[in-house]
Amino acid sequence: MENWFAKRRRSKVLDIAHRQMTLAIDTVKELEKSVNAALNGNKEEAKSSFQRLSLVEHEIDELRRTVFEELTRGSLPFKDREDIMHLVKRLDVMADHVKDSGRSVMVLLEAKVVREIWEQFVEIAKDLVACSTTLRKALDMLGTNPSEARELSKKVDEVESMVDEKYLKTKALLLKHADRMDSATLMLLRDLLESMEHVADSCDDTADYIRILTVARETA
């Protein structure tokens, strides 16, 4: 009976952790929808996407707490508990940066932003979706195909590099159009840019950890 409960608890922990990770990655898609809506001047759609993002982020926080509580009960080997905690923490940080980005978008809906700049943010958002989608595939492969998970994690690096390039290009655009926007708008745009770059960095950081885990699993 004790073994039965241990197995059930282990399955529960893994299921909750997987849902938390999946939701964290899904928040990026809502951010992309919000930025796209902002580009097209659709304030209500942008707000709706942010509201969905906020609800998901709240659920992520609750799931993270649940995962940590379950992990303290010791139903998993120490190394497995440690790995899950690291992944959950990393993706929770990523979701926080996504929400910060969404908040900036909400405030900027009332500002006059040069269209070319919004277009550039849309491109960054597309890259973030590609980055997070690839990360999810790597996570899914981690337990069944470590070598494939490692290759996918490398692709995350490639997409993150694309975000870095667009980050610099966007900064140049802010300078180029500085005379067409007030200082408060420029500061908010800079905050949005920084938050979105942090999303990519968190995604890449998680991919790096997955790469470490694949080596451990292949040598075990």
CATH of residue 187 = 1.20.58.220
Residue 34's nearest CA partner among 112, 125, 100 is: 125
Q: Which two tokens stand for residue 193?
A: 């840019």
d(CA 181, CA 169): 18
Span 166-213, pLDDT tens digits: 999 999 999 999 999 999 999 999 999 999 999 999 999 999 999 988
Residue 37's nearest CA partner among 98, 97, 121 is: 121
Please tell me the total count of domains within the chain: 1
The confidence score (pLDDT) of residue 165 equals 96
With cut-offs at 50, 70 and 90, classify the pLDDT of residue 55.
Answer: very high
The confidence score (pLDDT) of residue 75 equals 65
Give the predicted TM-score (pTM) of the model: 0.90
Give the range of the structural domain holding residue 152, as residue numbers without chain letter. Answer: 2-219
Mean pLDDT across 20-33 = 91
From residue 150, alpha-carbon distances to 65, 72, 91, 172, 177 in Å are 28, 29, 18, 34, 41
Mean pLDDT across 98-114 = 96
Residue 30's nearest CA partner among 154, 151, 170, 129 is: 129
Residue 34's nearest CA partner among 105, 104, 100 is: 105
